[in-house]
Chains A and B, each alone.
Chain A
Amino acid sequence: MNPDAPDLVRPLRTASGAMARLVILCGALALAGWLFDAESLKRVLPGLTAMNPLTATVFIVSGAALRLLREDPAPPWKRGCAGALASFVILIGILRLAGCVLGWDCGLDQLMFADKLAAGPGLPNRMAPNTAACFILSGAALALLSSDGPGRLAWSQALALPAAVISLTALVGYAYGAKRLYAVGSFIPMAANTAAAFFLLSLGTLLSRPGQGVARPCVSAGPGGVLLRLLAPSTLVIMVALGWLRLLGERAGLYGAEFGTALHVILCWLVIAWLLWRVASALDQTAEVRVRAEERVRSYAARLEAANKELESFSYSVSHDLRAPLRAVDGFSQILAEDCGDKLDDRGRDHLRRVREGCRRMAELIDGLLELSRVTRREMRREPVDLAALGRAVARQLSGSAPERNVEFIMPDKLPVRGDPTLLRAVLDNLIANAWKFTGNRQGARIELGVCAKNGVEACFVRDNGAGFDMAYADKLFGAFQRLHSTSEFPGWGVGLATVWRIVGRHGGRVWAEGSVGQGATFYFTLGGGHETE
C-alpha cells in the first residue's frame, strides 16, 4: 500500500474544519434572512424555495458537531457533546420524514417565524422530505464519528456518501432547472442553499478523517491518490459545465434534443479521452522509471553477489594460502634448530625461537579473522537457546584447560533467549574467555553470567572481577585489532570482541561494557528479539 502524503492530511482536515464553519454560516445567514426579511439570504435567488428556519437551526447544530469532532481522537467530552448534537439532528430528521410519509404533522418546522412562514408565496415553507432524509444520514454519520469502535468510521462514511450524492443531485437540478432532482413529489423542494450546505456537511464529514476508510486514497502519495485528487473534482466541474452549455444552446433554439445529446456525448468523450491520454502517458512514464530502477537494483544485487563471492574466496585463500607458507617458516625453523642447533649460539637459537613464536601468533590471528568472517557470512537461525547451559559448557572447557586455576562461576539455572545457538556460543566463548583471561592474575577470581534490567531493557551480562579497563577507552573495545592491554600483559588479538559485536548486531541487539581499572569489567548485550517469556 502506498504511504500517505503527510502534507495532504493536514490541509484536508483544515478544509473539513472550514466546511463545518461554512455549514454553520449557511444556517446562520438563513436565520438572519428570516429575522430581517432579507430574501436573498433565505432563498439565494428570488423565486426559489427559502431554507426553513428549523433546517437552518439544524445546520448550525450539525456544523457545531462536526467542529467538535475535528481532532482525531477527540477528547471524550467533545465526543459526548457531538454525539448529543448528532442525536438531535437525527431526531428532527426522523420526525419530519415520518410526518411526510404518514401525513402526520409535528409542526416543529413551523415553530419559528410562524407568521412569516405562512405569509410566503406558494406552498407554506416546510422542511422538505429529502432535506429530512439528508439530516438522518448526516446526523447518523456524525453520531458514528463521535463514537469509537471498530468499523464505526466505515459506517459513518457509508452514510455521508449518499447524503453527498442527494445534495449534489439537487444542486445540479438547480443548475439545469430540473425540479424533479431537488423536489420529491408534490412536497416543497429542497432549497438551493440547503443543498449546498448538505454537500459541504457530508464532504466535511468524509474529509474529517482523511487517510482512513474510503477517504484513504484521497491522501495516498501513490499514483492512485494523484489521479483521484486530479480527476474527481475536475471531471465533475467539466461534465456539469458541458451539460449546462448544451442546455443553454438548446434553449436558445440553436439545435434540437438529438443534436444536443450527440454534441454533449462527443464533447464528454473528448474530455475523458484527453484525460485518459494524460493518465496513460503518466503511467507509462512511471512504468519506465520503475523498469530502470529494477534494472539498477538487479545490477546492484549482481555486484553484491560478486563481492560476497570475492569475500568468500578471500577467506578461503586466507585460510589455505596464508597458513601454508607459515607452516613452512615454522617447520623449517624447527628443523634448523634440530639439525643445526649445535652450530648456533644462544642468540641464534633465541632468534629461531622468536621466528616460531611469530608464526604461532600469526596463525592465531588468521584463525581469528576467519572466525570474524564466518560469523558475518553464516546463515542465521532464531530459536530458543538456554544461555546458562552454553555458559556452563564454556566454563567447563576453560576449567579443563587450566585445572590449576580456581575461578568461581556464578550462573543461573536457566537463561532462555532466542537466537542462533552456534553464534551465541561464540559470543559466550569470547566474553567468558576474556573474563577468564583478565582474572588470570587475581586471587578469588569470579565470573558471573546473568540477566538484568539496564536502561529500561533486559540485558544479559558477563561480569568479572579482573583487570578491568579505563572507561575512557570503552568505545575502542569492539573494533577489530583494538586492544587496551599490551600483548605481554594479556595475550590476544582484539578480534574476539569485534566478533561479539558483529554477532550481537546480526541479532538486532547491542553490546556495551562498563568497568574500571582493577575493578573488573561487565559486558552487557541485548538480542533484539528480546528474551523468551516463560
Chain B
Amino acid sequence: MKPNDGIILLVEDDPDDEALTLRALKTNNILNEVVVARDGARALDYLRGLSAPGTAGRGVLPAVVLLDLKLPKISGLELLERIRLDERTKLLPVVILTSSKEEADLVNGYKLGANSYVRKPVDFAEFAQAVRQLGLYWLILNEPPPPP
C-alpha cells in the first residue's frame, strides 16, 4: 500500500490545536497536503470552490475532512449537515475530531452522517497516536468514494 496524495481538510479554529495536529502529522511522516479552514464558512467556501466552473480549484475533493465541532460562524455540525446535503460532497469522508464527548454531540454527529468520531486526548502523546492512526486509516487503508 502506498500513501495516496489525498488532501486533508482540517477544519479547526484553535491555532494551538492546528499546530499540534500539523506537528503530529509531521512526526508520523504523513506528508500529505493539509488545507486548514479556521471556520465552517471558509471550509464551505473551499469545498464549493473546488468544483465551481472557472475557478482555480483542482476539482479534487479532500481524502478526509477532520472536523472540529465548536467553530465560529457555522458550527461543525451545521457544516457537516451542509456537506451531506450537497450532491458533490455528500459522500466525502468526515471525521469529527473534537474535545467534546457530550452524548448529544455524539448522537447528532452520527445522525448527520459523520464517518467517525474521535475525541482529542489531552495528553499529546496520545493525541499524536490518534492522529497517526487516523492518517493511516483514512489515507492509506480506506478506499475513498469515487469522484462525483
Contact = CB atoms under 8 A, between A and B. Distances in A.
Contacts of A212: none
A363 interface: yes
Given A316-B102, A319-B101, A327 B16 contact: yes
A330 B69 CA distance: 21
Contacts, number: 65
A327 B20 contact: yes
B125 A320 contact: no
Going nearest first, the 7 A-B pairs with the smallest beta carbon separation are A328-B16, A363-B122, A331-B124, A331-B20, A323-B99, A334-B124, A320-B99
Contacts of A335: 20, 23, 124
Contact of A320 (B19, B100, B103, B121): B100
B17 interface: yes
Interface of A: 315-316, 319-321, 323-328, 330-335, 356, 359-360, 362-363, 370, 374
A324 B124 contact: no
B124 to A, nearest CB: 4
Nearest to B23: A335
A359 B102 contact: no
Contacts of A327: 16-17, 20, 99, 120-122, 124, 127
B129 interface: no
Contact of B125 (A332, A334, A374): A334
A330 B120 CA distance: 12
Interface in B93-148: 98-103, 120-125, 127
B14 interface: yes
Interface string B67-92: 00110000000000000000000000
Given A316-B102, A335-B23, A323 B125 contact: no
Contacts of B69: 320
A72 to B, nearest CB: 55
Interface string B1-29: 00000000000001011011001000000
Contacts of B98: 320
Contact of B16 (A315, A332, A362): A332
Given A330-B124, A331-B127, A334-B125, 20 more contacts: A319-B100, A319-B102, A320-B100, A321-B70, A321-B99, A323-B99, A323-B122, A327-B16, A327-B121, A327-B127, A328-B14, A328-B17, A330-B123, A331-B124, A334-B124, A335-B124, A356-B124, A360-B123, A363-B121, A363-B123
A320 B23 contact: no
Nearest to A337: B124
A363 B125 CA distance: 14
Interface residues of B, number: 21
A370 B46 CA distance: 36
Contacts of A331: 16, 19-20, 23, 124, 127
A434 to B, nearest CB: 23
Chain A binding surface, main DSSP class: helix
Contacts of B100: 316, 319-320
B145 to A, nearest CB: 30
A330 B24 CA distance: 13
Contacts of B99: 319-321, 323-324, 327
B118 to A, nearest CB: 13
Contact of A324 (B17, B23, B103, B123): B17
Contacts of B20: 327-328, 331-332, 335
A347 B14 CA distance: 31
A333 B23 CA distance: 13
A319 B17 CA distance: 15
Nearest to A315: B102
Nearest to A317: B70
Contacts of B124: 327, 330-331, 333-335, 356
A325 B102 contact: no
Interface centre among A315, A327, A332, A374 (most CB of B within 10 A): A327
Nearest to B69: A320
Nearest to A326: B122
Contacts of A370: 101
A331 B124 CA distance: 5
24 contacts: A315-B102, A316-B102, A319-B100, A320-B99, A321-B99, A323-B120, A324-B14, A324-B99, A327-B16, A327-B120, A327-B124, A327-B127, A330-B123, A331-B16, A331-B124, A332-B16, A334-B124, A335-B23, A356-B123, A359-B122, A360-B122, A363-B122, A370-B101, A374-B103
Contacts of A325: 16
Nearest to A377: B103
A370 B102 CA distance: 9
Contacts of B123: 330, 356, 359-360, 363
A324 B16 contact: yes
A324 B13 CA distance: 11
